[in-house]
Homo-oligomer: A and B are copies of this chain.
Amino acid sequence: MSATHLNVPVPVPADGDCAIRDICEFVGNKWSVLVVILLGQRVYRFNELHRSIEGISQRMLTLTLRKLARDGLVTRTPYATVPPRVDYQLTDLGRTLLEPLTALNTWAETHQSVIRAARRHHDATETPSGS
């Protein structure tokens, strides 16, 4: 064994001293994850991202990009052209995040059918239609 043991302080503290809680704040925002993944492929412009992520609103894309920039994961590069243009790309730091994200994505792809089966089974078993 080795990688299957996470050393997390118990009790898990509520404050900011817990790395895993910190990352959950980030991953919790599904938009952040999607943006990082897309930017992992290439540089994107604002509206490219907007079109590439189904269901995200302009507002959420803005907020997400701002947060990612604040955390030093992406850079924002505006050009004083007309029409205006802004490029977004991952920083070196942001790129390092792709690896654990890939691991997670691989896990999701590998096991999603099993999970859905478990879910269906559970629903069929534990939620009898009373009548």
Residue ranges of A at the interface with B (Cβ–Cβ < 8 Å): 3-6, 8, 10-14, 19-25, 27-30, 33-34, 37-38, 40-41, 51-55, 69-73, 93, 95-109, 111-112, 114-115, 117-119, 121-123
Contacts and interface: CB of A to CB of B under 8 A. Distances in A.
Contacts of A117: 72
Given A4-B99, A6-B37, A69-B122, 16 more contacts: A10-B52, A20-B33, A20-B34, A20-B37, A21-B30, A21-B34, A23-B104, A28-B28, A70-B118, A71-B115, A71-B118, A71-B119, A96-B107, A96-B111, A97-B107, A100-B107
A38 B8 CA distance: 8
A100 B104 contact: yes
Please state the number of chain copies in the assembly: 2
Contacts of A104: 20, 23, 27, 100-101, 103-104
Contacts of A28: 27-30
Given A11-B53, A51-B11, A112 B22 contact: yes
